[in-house]
Amino acid sequence: MRIAVAADEQVGVARTLADELRRRGHDVVAAHGALSPEERDDWAWCAEAAARDVADGRAEQAVVCCWTGTGASIAANKVAGVRAALCADAATAEGARRWNDANVLALSLRTTSEAELGEILDGWFAGAASTDPGDAANVEHLVAIENSATAPPE
């Protein structure tokens, strides 16, 4: 899978994230923020860049990180077509993929240990979008909300 990564600092799991994804057989197609010497490293800018990689089709998914993960999640979710989920455990990550068809994983650099990173990625990659009609309707409604928010006023 093609994955973009972003972090606003090179601390905690930011240092090993890309290597762990590659070890799992994924293609890290872009590294943003503090992970790239050419880019601005602020959380809003780097999370947006990774989310745009997903929205524009350069990556199938992204992993975005900041100190709490909250800002990176918020920034990524401002990009049309992105459903970012802040996950602190494997069950939440698996559920985000299943019920929300999340395509961007947000992580806290402050609280995510190396062991938790592995468990969260296990859950994330084990999850697949639900085929249940109710779950699909919720995701479709998110798209409708997004489209209504970006539609020009009549």
pLDDT in tens, 75-127: 999 999 999 999 999 999 999 999 999 999 999 999 999 999 999 999 999 98
DSSP per residue, 7-63: ESSS-GGGGTHHHHHHHTT-EEEEEEETTSTTS---HHHHHHHHHHHHHTTS-SEEE
Residue from 99, 103, 120, 110 nearest 50 by CA: 103
Domain ranges for the chain, please list them.
Answer: 2-150
Residue from 58, 114, 142 nearest 32 by CA: 58
Over its C-alpha atoms, the chain yields an Rg (Å, rounded) of: 15
* Fold category of 2-150 in CATH: Ribose 5-phosphate Isomerase B; Chain: A, (3.40.1400)
Q: So what's the pLDDT on residue 154?
A: 66
Task: Report the percentage of the chain scoring pLDDT > 70.
Answer: 97
Q: So what's the pLDDT on residue 58?
A: 98
Task: Considering only the C-alpha atoms of the chain, give the largest distance between any 2 of them, rounded to a whole number of Å.
Answer: 51
pTM over 0.85: yes
3-state secondary structure of 97: helix
